[in-house]
Structure 1
Amino acid sequence: MKFRIIWLFIIVPYFTIFFFNRFYHIPQNGYPLIYSYVLVGWLAFEFYLKNSFFQSGIVDLDKFPYWLRIAAAVYFYGSFVFANFEIENSGGNPMLGLPGLIILIIGVAVRMKADLDLINFKKQFIDNGIYQVIRQPTYLGLILISLAMGLCFNSAVVLLTGIFIGVPLFYWESRLEDGVLAKKDPKYKEYQRRVKYFGLI
C-alpha cells in the first residue's frame, strides 16, 4: 500500500501538469481539462483500492473473457486518446461541455460510492448502500463516465462510439457478472427481481 501511495504522489502531479500544458492553447479548454483531472483522480482512487478499472471487483477477473477485458480497456483509452487529438480542431463547446461535466461527476460519484460499499459490506453479493437501489452501480458509473467524454471533448465520434461500443461492452460485462452471482447464491435471484439493473431499467 505504501508503494501505491508513493506512486500516486508521482503520477497524479505529473498528469495534472501534463494535461494543463496539453490543453493550454485550445479554445474553451476548461471542459476537456476538468474531465482529464477528474479521470486522473478517479483512476488514482481505483489504483489505491487495488480495483480493476473496468470491472466491479465483486467477482474474480477470470470469470470475464480475456478479450472482453482487453476490449473494454482499448475502447476507453482509445477513445480518450482520439478525443485528445480531435479537440485540437474543434475546441471545447459550453453547450456540450457543461452537461458532460455534470454526467461525469454523477458517474464518478456512483462508481466511487459502489467501491466504498464493497469495502464496507463484505458479503458474496451486496444489497446495502447504493446496491439497494441500483443492481450494477459500477457499470452505470462507467457508462456515464464514457458518455461524458464525448460531450466534454466536443466529439460526436467519441460520443457515438460510447453509445454503440462502450455501452454494449459494459452492459455485457455486467450481464456476465449477474450470471456468476446468480449461480453462486440463490438469494441473488430474489435480489435481481427486487432491484433494477441500473436503478431505472
Structure 2
Amino acid sequence: MPGSAATRRVFIMPRKSRRGSVAPIVGCAVVVAAGLSLLACTWVAPTDTERVLGSVKVAVQTATQNAIAPDQPPQITLGEEGGERELDACTGEFIEMIAYRDGSVPPLYAAHNNCGGDIILGWKQGTMVQIAGADTVYQVVDERDTPKGAPVEALTGIGGELVVQTCFYGEDRMRFLALAPAAA
C-alpha cells in the first residue's frame, strides 16, 4: 500500500550545528567593541590615547627590529635641508633643519614621529645606527629631551657629529639624539 506507515521511508537529515556560526559573530562583536572603545578613547582623551598607542607602536617596532635583524643596526635616511614645509612632506627621511643651524649645535635632522621619526624614540645612549648610503656605523652618544618649541640654545653643548630629532607621541616634548661614528 502506497503511503502506508509500513512502506513509507523517513529520511532524517542531520541537524546542522550552530556552533560554527556563533564564533564569527562573537569575533565580529569583539572587533566592533574594540573599535568603538578606541574611538571613544580618542574622543574623550586624545592626548593620552596618542601617547599610549605611540608607546605601543615604538615597543613593537623595537622588538621587531631586534627579532628580525638582531645583528643589524636600525637605519635612517637623511634628506634635504629645509624647514617646516619639507618636514611636513612626510617622506620618511630626516630633514636637515635650517632653523637649528647654530655654531654650537651639530647639523640637526628631524622627522615627524608619524612619518618615520618615531624610530629614534626606542633608542638610548649606545644604540648603533646605520645611515642609508653611509659606510660608517654611528652610535648614540648624547641625548636631550626638551619642551616643544625650545630654543636652539637648549641644545648647546650636545655632542656628536649630527643630531636627529622627533617628538614624543601625545606629549609636549621633543627628543634629540646626538650621533657620532662608532668606535671600531
Q: Does the TM-score normalized on the shorter chain lie above 0.5?
A: no
Which protein has greater RCO, CA pairs closer than 8 Å, 6+ apart?
1
TM-score (norm 2): 0.30
The structure that has the greater radius of gyration is 2
TM-score (norm 1): 0.28
